[in-house]
Chain A
Amino acid sequence: MSENKEIEIMQSVYDKNDEVAARINSELTQSGIYAINVMGAPGAGKTTSLIQIVKRLNDVTPYVIEGDIEADFDTKTLQALGIKAIQINTGGACHLDSPLIGKAVEDLGIKNGVLFIENIGNLVCPAEFMIGEHAKMLISTVTEGSDKPYKYPLAFEKADIILLNKCDLIPYIDFDEDFFMKGVRALNKTAPVIKVSGKTEEGFDKVVSWIMDKLNA
């Protein structure tokens, strides 16, 4: 057998996802849509937070794409509130990808407003894949523990806004806020961290004013 010949390549490998994400992003921008990729563990309160946010949007039209795996329960809840929502059937995937979003955006037929994309309940893969969003919203909770930035650094690094949810439960648990914030700030100097509660509804006004600032930017 002859000697191996080495051919230098030095080329990053991307799947089609990134290309499609860039295309969706510019299409959404042209349609006057600001898209937010909502990430968080299962049960962190992604759907609950969306409902709280949407209630406060006033004249801005909300759209929701639900990617969470469990049936279409959340989608039905949102639709019952009169929100234009669509369910993506991911077949057990670990994160949403761009082609899925592209199709859902077409099906929703959206224009001028905010699009919330509730990603799969997972703190790893959704942070790694762009899906055409303008911003990433991470929902962490006091019940998950204060060590989450240390265990899932990428999700905290990539977030543009972080909601610390379930703050109504702080009196009942050991949540070390200083340790949590120290981790967040090592990874991310700029994202606002907003303490919220889906139960008492505290904090969501601040979240909405952050979104309005982005819309008007």
Chain B
Amino acid sequence: MHEYPITQRIIEIAQEYATKNEATEVKVINLVVGDYSGYVASSIELYFDIIAEGSMCEKAKLNIERVVPKLKCNSCGELFIRKPFSFQCPNCNGEGSPTEIGQEFYIKSIEV
């Protein structure tokens, strides 16, 4: 439910870059959303259609690349996706710590 303001920002940024590049229409927005970013991809999609109406992004296709969070093993350094109820490394059985992977939220590019 808190995705409304962030979706507005996405559209603003896309328009800003499109205008700078003398485009009149945004055709595609490529967005990267980590599962621990605090934002839910499907909610952004829902709001996008409503907010983009009447703007340069009205016909834009929103491509969302989701990123699954990974832990880094404290012993062997392996990056891995954790299993439910465990932080154990599949490689050496060591313990994993949280990383930034899965917390990203950025606009990769737009296509005009």
Q: Which residues does A use to contact B, with CB under 8 Å?
A: 4-17, 93-95, 97, 125, 128-129, 147, 150, 153-154, 157, 182-183, 186-187, 189
Write the nearest CB–CB distance from A217 to chain B, whole angstroms: 25
> Are B98 and A153 in contact (CB-based, < 8 A)?
yes
Chain A residues closer than 8 Å to B98, beta-carbon distance = 153, 157, 187
Chain A residues closer than 8 Å to B80, beta-carbon distance = none
Count A-B contacts at CB 8 Å: 82
Identity of the chain A residue whose Cβ is nearest the Cβ of B103 in the assembled complex: A154
Write the nearest CB–CB distance from B90 to chain A, whole angstroms: 15
> Are A7 and B111 in contact (CB-based, < 8 A)?
yes
The answer, among B17, B27, B104, B108, for a CB contact under 8 Å with A4, is B27
A sample of 30 cross-chain residue pairs with beta-carbon separation below 8 angstroms, ordered by A number, consists of: A4-B28, A4-B111, A6-B109, A6-B111, A7-B17, A7-B18, A7-B21, A7-B109, A7-B110, A10-B107, A10-B109, A11-B106, A11-B107, A12-B106, A13-B6, A13-B9, A13-B13, A13-B106, A16-B5, A17-B5, A93-B2, A129-B38, A150-B84, A150-B86, A153-B36, A153-B98, A183-B87, A186-B97, A187-B98, A189-B97
> Are B5 and A5 in contact (CB-based, < 8 A)?
no
> Are A5 and B23 in contact (CB-based, < 8 A)?
yes
Give B1-34 interface residues, CB cut-off 8 Å to A. Answer: 1-2, 5-6, 8-10, 13, 17-18, 21, 23, 27-28
- Chain B interface size band reads 20 to 34
Chain B residues closer than 8 Å to A12, beta-carbon distance = 104-106
Chain A residues closer than 8 Å to B97, beta-carbon distance = 186-187, 189
Main secondary structure of the interface of B (DSSP, over half): mixed
Give B79-99 interface residues, CB cut-off 8 Å to A. Answer: 84-87, 95-98
Write the nearest CB–CB distance from B87 to chain A, whole angstroms: 4
The answer, among B13, B27, B95, for a CB contact under 8 Å with A186, is B95
Q: A4-B28, A4-B111, A5-B23 are in contact. Are A186 and B106 (CB under 8 A)?
A: no
**The 5 A-B residue pairs with the shortest CB-CB distance in the complex, in nearest-first order:** A128-B38, A186-B87, A4-B111, A15-B5, A9-B107
Chain A residues closer than 8 Å to B21, beta-carbon distance = 5, 7
Q: Does B112 contact A (CB under 8 A)?
A: yes
Q: How far is the CA of A128 from the CA of B85 in the complex (A)?
A: 21
Q: A94-B2, A125-B2 are in contact. Are A5 and B111 (CB under 8 A)?
A: yes
